[in-house]
Structure 1
Amino acid sequence: MGGSQEKDEPCSCSEAREHLERFLDHECDGDMTARLAGHVASCEHCSRIADAETHLREILRSRCAEQAPPELRARVLGRLAVMRSTTSAASVTSVTSMTSVTTADGTTTVRSQTQTIRYRLG
């Protein structure tokens, strides 16, 4: 019955770090969730890590919720329409991702990356 003892054993810091993302995404089973929640509640170090990860996720979620201004949206859609009408043999797609990180001292860093993807149609 070693399996039931493992369920009742406290979670280690390394195990908490290993499963932290799944825990915060509510993807762990009930036993693992209880063990991780207990550990994070009692371990100051892991609690700070979980709080920082939660804060980062909230920042990213709020930044991803922002929508492009209507003028930019219209300009991009217009260019896509031109590209679609003039490109018969190939298609080009540009994807831009932006990441914003605010540190504890209030400094915000924004990184953007554009990737161009080309592929043949038909």
Structure 2
Amino acid sequence: MGEKNPTEPCSCSEARAYLERFLDQECDQDLQTRLAEHVESCEHCSRQADAERHLRELVRSRCAEQAPAALRARVLGYLSTARITSTTTVGVSTTRITTTVVRTERFGRG
């Protein structure tokens, strides 16, 4: 989706199209500014943005539970093992080794 001229006011349809990127602050600075001005001045788009923010907060607050330590250790152990697959076809042998390494980081709630 192409971005409009940075001097033109943002329309409701453009605000709807870029709402998620706007809330994630993933737009270029000109578009981010235009969207912020529009959302601030348009009651409908302001309600849409507020509803999306509220939904995100609900999802974030409900997804705070962690898996039990034993389950987490089993899953991480499984994911970090090497898997070897061998096949032989008419005298040609093929071996594929796949290793998956999983790094985890803890993110704070915020």
TM-score w.r.t. the length of structure 2 is 0.59
C-alpha root-mean-square deviation of aligned residues, in Å? 3.0
Aligned residue-pair number: 81
Following TM superposition, by how much is the alpha carbon of 1:65 offset from its aligned partner in structure 2, in angstroms?
A: 2.4
SS at 1:8 equivalent: coil
Alignment-mate amino acid for residue 69 of structure 2:
R
- Residues 1:78 and 1:32: Cα distance change in structure 2 (over 3 Å): closer
- Name which one, 1 or 2, has greater alpha-carbon Rg: 2
- Residues 1:80 and 1:58: Cα distance change in structure 2 (over 3 Å): closer
Unaligned runs of 5+ in 1: 91-120
Bigger fraction of residues in strand: 1
Q: Deviations over 1:35-82 (max 9, x none)?
A: 0001000110000000000111111122222223xxx432x258659x
Alignment-mate amino acid for residue 24 of structure 2:
D
Instruction: Report what 1:73 is aligned to.
Output: 69
Matches within 5 A, 1:1-122: 6-68=5-67, 72-74=68-70, 76=71, 122=97
Unaligned runs of 5+ in 2: 86-95, 98-110
How many angstroms apart in 1 are the aligned matches of 2:37 and 2:14? 12
How many angstroms apart in 2 are the aligned matches of 1:78 and 1:37? 44
Q: Write out the 4+ residue segments of structure 1 that deviate beyond 4 Å after TM superposition.
A: 77-81
- Residues 1:89 and 1:50: Cα distance change in structure 2 (over 3 Å): same
